[in-house]
């Protein structure tokens, strides 16, 4: 495993992401979605936003109903990002 995983300028570590001097605590999960696709999901540990450069950030927060959700990003099998992040899931 390489100690330096970088995706679009965002450095990925075992316990968090670092981009532009800001640290974003996170955790990684490997599994299959209901539709059968294999993916690595990166979940934020705080309500701070993930950098948009990292990937397609998903967040379904609805402030009108006081429903808050933390960011998550999914990387699917067959991509270089998936292969790199798979090592951090263990």
Domain boundaries, the chain: 5-89
Confidence band of 28 (pLDDT split at 50, 70, 90): very high
Is the pLDDT score of 1 beyond 50?
A: no
What is the reported pLDDT for 68?
86
pLDDT score of 90 = 75
The pTM assigned to this predicted structure is 0.86
Q: What is the mean pLDDT of residues 5-29?
A: 94
- As a three-state string, the secondary structure of 16-80 is EEEECCEEEEEEEEEEECCCCCEEEEEEECCCCCCCHHHCCEECCCEHHHCECCCCEEEEECCCH
Q: What is the mean pLDDT of residues 14-22?
A: 93
């Amino acid at each position: 495993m390489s100690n330096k995983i970088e995706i679009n300028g965002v450095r990925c570590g075992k316990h968090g992401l670092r981009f532009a001097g800001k640290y974003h605590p996170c955790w990684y999960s490997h599994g299959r979605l209901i539709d059968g696709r294999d993916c690595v999901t990166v979940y934020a540990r705080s309500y701070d936003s993930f950098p948009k450069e990292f990937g397609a950030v998903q967040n379904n927060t609805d402030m009108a109903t006081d429903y808050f959700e933390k960011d998550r990003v999914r990387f699917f099998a067959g991509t270089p990002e998936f292969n790199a992040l798979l090592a951090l899931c263990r």
